[in-house]
C-alpha cells in the first residue's frame, strides 16, 4: 500500500468544509505544522525562556526585546500560537490516521492471491523451474514450507493450475500507525501538562495574573488556583525550619498562586562539592504535612530523585538564600565618608547617606546574595606564565594531551576556595543601581611569597558585564585598616606635611637644610598631586585628577619629553618614600609596630600605591566588607501535577515501536504459480544446449509441472536479494 499525501475526501457539507477537511487530513499539512514546531522548539532551546525583560534588553537591545515579547519567543512553550499549532497537529495527524488505518488493517488479511500469472513476469525478483510434482502436490509442499518459516500462506486452485500467495512482515504497516499515533499522544500530553489548563481557568474561571507585591497571604482569591487544579508546574521556595503550601506559577506579566493539598517543611538543605569546586549533590530533607489528616511524612529530595505525594511530584530545582543575616563594615572611598557598621538580611534593604554635609545623597543598600563557597581557578596563563619555551614543539606531549580519558583537558587548573562573599546593590535617589561583589577574606593571587594577599572589591554596571575589582592589600594584621588610615591621612594636609618632613630629613640628613627644604617641596608637590588636591593651570575648573594619572599629566605639561623618563623615576621614588613615611606615621598613631624593611613590605607598598591610585575611580562613596553572618539556606522546589506524563511516555514507546517497525521490518510478498507441464518424453532432449533460459532447472526426468515464482518487497536491499535466492533454492529446486 502506498500512503497518499492527499487529504480525506468527504462528500457532505459545503465546498469550504470539504476543502478544510482535505487540508487538515493531508500529510503535507501535518509535515508543515511539525516543521514549524521544530523551528519554535529550536528557538526555545537557544533563547533563554522566562527571563526578565531587562535581560533581553541588555543582550539583544530594546528593539529585539520588544519583538521577542510581542511574539512570545521568550515564552515559546506557553505561547498561544504554539499551543494552537499543537492542537492543529493533533487534529491533522488524527485525520491522517483515520484516513489510512482502514486501508492498512484491510491489507492484513489480503494476500493478493488473485494476481494473474502473467503479472509475475514483471517483478524484479522472479524465477522459473520445472518440477516433478503435480501442481497440487507442489502447491501444498511449497505452502507448508512457507508456513514453517513464519509466512502467512493461502492456496488458490484455478482451472489452469494452482497459485500459492504468501506474506510476511505486516508489522511494517503497524509501524506507520504507531509512529503517527505517537505524535498525537505526545502532543496531547504536552497540551495537558502545558499552560492550556491554566489558560482555560483564566478565561472561564475569572482568574487573572497578580502583578503586585507584598505577602502571599494578602493576595486575593482571583489570583489563586484551587488545590484540585488538574495540571500545573510551579515553583515553591522554602527556607530552613519553615514550611510553605503555596507555589508560584510564572505567567507573562505576573504570577498565579497554586494552592497545594499539603505543606512542605524544610529541615535541612545539603550541598556537597567535588574537589574541583563543581557541585556534587543537592538534597533537601523535608517533611510533608497533610492538610486534611495532619500526617507528617519525612522525605528526601535530590536532583533527579523527586518525592511524590497525592499525585504531585516534588523536584529539587535549585537553592537560594532563605534570609541570612549579615554584618557589614563600610570602607570609606570618599573623604566625606566615615567607617560604620550595618546589619541586614539577604533580600532586604537599608537606607543610608553617601556622607556628611549638604552634598550627601540618599542611597539604598540592597542585600542580594551571600555565598559561602567561591571556587576559583588560579592556574597560570599558559606558556606565557609558566616560563616554558614556546618555540619548542613536543609532538608526543601534544598527542598525549589530546588522547586518553574524556575528562582530560589541555588547560591546567588550580582551583581553590577563596571563602565567603557578599553581593549587594547601591541604588541612588534616581533609582539607578550598581552591583557589587566583595570577598570577605584576602586572596593570595600568585605563588610569590612576598606578594601580599588582596581584598577583592568587585563592581559592575550591568548584570551581563564581568566584575571589575579594586585590589586592596591586606596589612600584617590581615585587615584593610592600613588602607583606610592611609587614605584618610592622604586627604589631610597636616598629615601629608608631617610625612613629607620625615621623608626629607631621613633622605638628606640634618646637616643639609637647603637640600632638605628642596626635597620637601618636591615631595609635597608629588604627594598633593597623588592625593588630587593640587590645582594646576591645566586642571583649573575641571574635576580633580588623583593618583598616578595626575602625576603623568603633570609630567607631560611641565617636563620636556627628553627628560621625562629620568624625572619620572625620581618623582616616583619620592612618592613611594613619602607614602611609606605616611604609612609609618599612621601606624604609630594607631599604636601598631612599624612595617619591617624587607621584600614583603616593598611588595605591600607597591600594591598600596596602585590601590590608592585606583581608589578615586571607585564608583561609590563606600565599599562594604562582610564582617559576620548567620546563614539560612532555602530550597527551591518544582512541584508538578502532570497527568500527561504517562501519555507522553506511552507516545515515546509507540514512537520507538513505530520507527523500529518502519525501518527494520520489511513487508515481503511471494507468489508461486504452478501449472501442468507441457513437456513430454517425446520432445525431451538430453542436449544441454537445447535448454532455454526460461528453463534453468530442468532435470533429466520428465517434469510434471512448471513453476513461476516472484517476490515483492517494500524496500530493495541486499538482504532481500539473499532471501530470494534462499527461497528459490528451498521452494523450486525439489528433485524430479
Say which CATH number the domain at 699 has. 3.30.310
Where in the sequence is the domain holding 290, given as residue range(s)? 197-230+232-322+634-641
- 66 & 42 share domain: yes
Three-state secondary structure call for residue 47: coil
Residue 575 contacts residue 456 (beta carbons within 8 Å): no
Percent over 90 (pLDDT), the chain: 34
When mean pLDDT is compared across 196-200, 317-321, 631-635, 700-704, the lowest value belongs to: 700-704
Both 273 and 222 in one domain: the answer is yes
pLDDT of residue 46: 87
- Give a yes or no: residue 225 inside a domain: yes
Where is the domain boundary, 81, 106, 131? 106
- Between CA 482 and CA 585 the distance in angstroms is 11
The SS3 assignment for 709 reads strand
Residue at which a domain ends, from 538, 568, 594: 594
Residue 190 lies in a domain: no
Q: What is the model's pLDDT at position 477?
A: 92
Whole-structure pTM value: 0.66
Judged against a pLDDT cut of 60, whether residue 696 lies above it is answered with no
Tell me the CB-side half-sphere exposure of residue 235, using CA atoms within 13 A: 12
Residues 57 and 143 in one domain: no
Task: Give the residue with greater pLDDT, 311 vs 280.
Answer: 311
Is 369 inside a domain boundary? Answer: no
Query: Is the model's pLDDT at 385 over the cut of 50?
Result: no
Q: Which of 438-447, 512-521, 633-642 is the least confident region?
A: 512-521
119 assigned to some structural domain: yes
Q: At residue 464, does pLDDT exceed 90? A: no
Query: Which stretch of 142-151, 367-376, 599-608, 617-626 has the lowest confidence by average pLDDT?
Result: 367-376
- In this prediction, residue 485 carries a pLDDT of 92
Residues 6+ apart with CB under 8 A from 686: 700
Per-residue model confidence (pLDDT) at position 367: 95
Say yes or no: 76 and 118 in one domain.
no
Task: Report pLDDT for 383.
Answer: 35
Do residue 87 and residue 145 come from a single domain? no
What is the average pLDDT value for the chain, to the nearest integer? Answer: 83
In a domain, 332, yes or no: no
Residues 679 and 721 in one domain: yes
Question: Is 237 in the same domain as 141?
Answer: no
Residues 487 and 580 in one domain: yes
User: Which of 572, 607, 641 is the last residue before a domain boundary?
Assistant: 641
Q: What is the pLDDT of residue 553?
A: 85
In a domain, 177, yes or no: no
What are the CA-CA distances from residue 27 to residues 7, 21, 35 (Å)? 7, 12, 12
Q: Flag whether pLDDT at 395 surpasses 60.
A: no
129 and 202 in a common domain:
no
Among 259, 260, 305, residue whose Cα is nearest residue 281: 305
Pairing state between β 224-225 and 254-273 = parallel
pLDDT for 263 = 94
Within a domain: residue 75?
Answer: yes
The residue among 449, 439, 436 whose CA lies nearest residue 416 is 439
pLDDT of residue 7: 55
Alpha-carbon dihedral angle through residues 678, 682, 688, 694, given to the nearest 10 degrees = -10
468 assigned to some structural domain? no
Same domain, 216 and 302: yes
Domain count, the chain: 4
> CA-to-CA distance for 441 and 626, rounded, in angstroms?
9
Residues 6+ apart with CB under 8 A from 661: 171, 172, 174, 175, 176, 178, 179
The pLDDT score that the predictor gives to residue 540 is 59
Are both 100 and 136 inside the same structural domain? no
Among 51-55, 62-66, 259-263, 589-593, whose mean pLDDT is lowest?
A: 51-55
Same domain, 141 and 246: no
Amino acid at each position: 500500500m502506498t500512503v497518499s499525501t492527499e487529504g480525506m475526501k468527504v462528500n457532505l457539507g459545503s465546498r469550504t468544509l470539504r476543502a478544510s477537511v482535505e487540508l487538515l487530513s493531508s500529510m503535507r499539512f501535518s509535515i508543515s505544522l511539525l516543521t514549524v514546531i521544530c523551528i519554535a522548539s529550536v528557538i526555545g532551546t537557544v533563547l533563554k525562556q522566562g527571563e526578565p525583560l531587562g535581560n533581553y534588553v541588555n543582550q539583544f537591545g530594546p528593539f529585539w526585546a520588544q519583538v521577542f515579547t510581542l511574539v512570545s519567543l521568550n515564552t515559546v512553550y506557553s505561547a498561544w500560537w504554539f499551543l494552537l499549532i499543537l492542537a492543529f497537529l493533533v487534529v491533522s495527524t488524527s485525520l491522517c490516521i483515520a484516513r489510512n488505518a482502514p486501508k492498512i488493517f484491510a491489507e492484513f488479511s489480503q494476500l493478493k492471491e488473485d494476481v494473474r500469472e502473467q503479472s509475475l513476469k514483471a517483478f524484479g525478483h522472479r524465477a522459473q523451474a520445472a518440477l516433478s510434482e503435480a501442481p497440487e502436490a507442489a502447491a501444498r509442499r511449497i505452502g507448508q514450507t512457507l508456513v514453517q518459516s513464519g509466512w502467512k500462506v493461502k492456496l488458490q486452485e484455478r482451472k489452469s493450475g494452482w497459485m500459492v500467495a504468501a506474506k510476511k512482515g505486516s508489522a511494517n504497516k503497524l509501524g506507520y500507525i504507531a509512529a503517527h499515533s505517537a505524535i498525537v499522544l505526545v502532543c496531547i500530553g504536552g497540551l495537558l501538562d502545558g499552560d492550556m489548563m491554566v489558560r482555560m481557568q483564566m478565561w472561564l474561571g475569572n482568574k487573572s495574573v497578580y502583578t503586585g507585591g507584598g505577602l502571599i497571604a494578602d493576595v486575593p482569591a482571583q489570583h489563586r488556583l484551587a488545590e484540585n487544579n488538574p495540571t500545573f508546574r510551579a515553583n515553591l521556595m522554602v527556607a530552613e525550619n519553615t514550611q510553605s503550601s503555596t507555589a508560584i506559577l510564572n505567567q507573562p506579566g505576573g504570577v498565579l498562586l497554586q494552592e497545594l493539598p499539603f505543606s512542605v517543611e524544610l529541615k535541612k538543605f545539603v550541598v556537597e562539592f567535588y574537589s574541583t569546586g563543581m557541585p556534587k549533590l543537592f538534597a533537601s530533607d523535608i517533611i510533608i504535612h497533610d492538610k486534611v489528616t495532619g500526617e507528617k511524612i519525612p522525605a528526601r529530595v535530590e536532583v533527579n530523585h523527586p518525592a511524590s505525594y497525592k499525585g504531585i511530584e516534588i523536584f529539587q530545582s535549585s537553592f537560594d538564600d532563605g534570609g541570612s543575616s549579615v554584618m557589614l563594615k563600610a570602607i570609606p572611598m570618599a573623604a566625606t565618608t566615615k567607617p560604620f557598621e550595618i546589619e541586614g538580611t539577604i533580600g532586604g534593604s537599608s537606607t543610608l547617606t553617601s556622607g556628611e554635609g549638604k552634598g550627601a545623597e540618599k542611597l539604598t543598600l540592597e542585600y542580594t546574595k551571600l555565598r559561602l563557597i567561591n571556587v576559583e581557578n588560579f592556574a597560570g596563563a599558559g606558556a606565557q606564565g609558566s616560563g616554558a619555551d614556546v618555540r619548542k614543539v613536543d609532538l608526543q606531549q601534544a598527542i598525549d594531551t589530546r588522547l586518553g580519558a574524556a575528562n582530560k583537558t589541555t588547560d591546567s587548573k588550580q582551583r581553590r576556595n577563596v571563602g565567603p562573599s557578599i553581593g549587594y546593590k547601591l541604588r541612588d535617589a534616581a533609582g539607578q543601581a550598581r552591583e557589587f561583589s566583595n570577598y570577605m577574606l584576602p586572596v593570595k593571587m600568585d605563588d610569590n611569597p612576598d606578594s601580599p594577599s588582596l581584598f577583592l572589591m568587585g563592581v559592575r554596571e550591568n548584570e551581563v558585564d564581568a566584575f571589575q575589582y579594586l585590589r586592596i592589600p591586606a596589612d600584617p594584621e590581615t585587615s584593610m585598616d592600613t588602607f583606610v588610615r592611609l587614605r584618610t591621612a592622604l586627604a589631610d594636609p597636616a598629615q601629608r606635611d608631617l610625612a613629607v618632613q620625615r621623608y626629607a630629613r631621613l633622605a638628606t640628613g640634618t646637616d643639609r637644610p637647603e637640600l632638605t627644604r628642596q626635597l620637601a617641596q618636591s615631595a609635597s608637590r608629588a604627594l598633593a598631586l597623588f592625593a588630587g588636591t593640587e590645582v594646576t593651570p591645566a586642571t583649573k575648573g575641571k574635576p580633580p585628577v588623583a593618583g598616578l594619572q595626575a602625576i603623568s599629566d603633570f609630567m607631560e605639561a611641565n617636563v620636556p619629553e627628553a627628560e621625562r623618563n629620568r624625572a619620572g623615576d625620581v618623582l616616583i621614588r619620592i612618592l613611594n618614600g613619602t607614602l611609606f613615611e605616611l604609612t609609618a606615621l599612621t601606624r604609630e598613631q594607631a599604636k601598631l609596630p612599624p612595617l619591617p624593611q624587607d621584600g614583603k613590605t616593598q611588595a605591600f607598598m607597591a600594591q598600596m600605591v596602585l590601590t590608592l591610585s585606583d581608589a578615586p575611580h571607585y564608583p561609590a562613596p563606600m565599599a562594604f566588607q562582610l564582617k559576620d553572618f548567620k546563614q539560612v539556606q532555602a530550597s527551591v522546589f518544582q512541584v508538578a501535577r502532570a497527568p500527561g506524563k504517562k501519555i507522553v511516555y506511552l507516545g515515546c514507546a509507540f514512537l520507538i515501536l513505530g520507527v523500529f517497525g518502519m525501518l527494520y521490518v520489511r513487508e515481503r510478498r511471494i507468489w508461486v504459480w504452478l501449472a501442468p507441464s507441457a513437456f513430454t518424453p517425446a520432445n525431451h532432449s538430453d542436449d544441454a544446449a537445447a535448454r532455454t533460459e526460461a528453463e534453468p532447472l530442468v532435470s533429466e526426468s520428465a517434469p510434471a509441472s512448471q513453476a513461476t515464482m516472484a517476490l515483492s518487497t517494500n524496500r530493495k536491499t541486499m538482504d532481500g536479494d539473499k532471501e530470494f535466492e534462499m527461497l528459490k533454492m528451498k521452494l523450486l529446486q525439489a528433485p524430479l
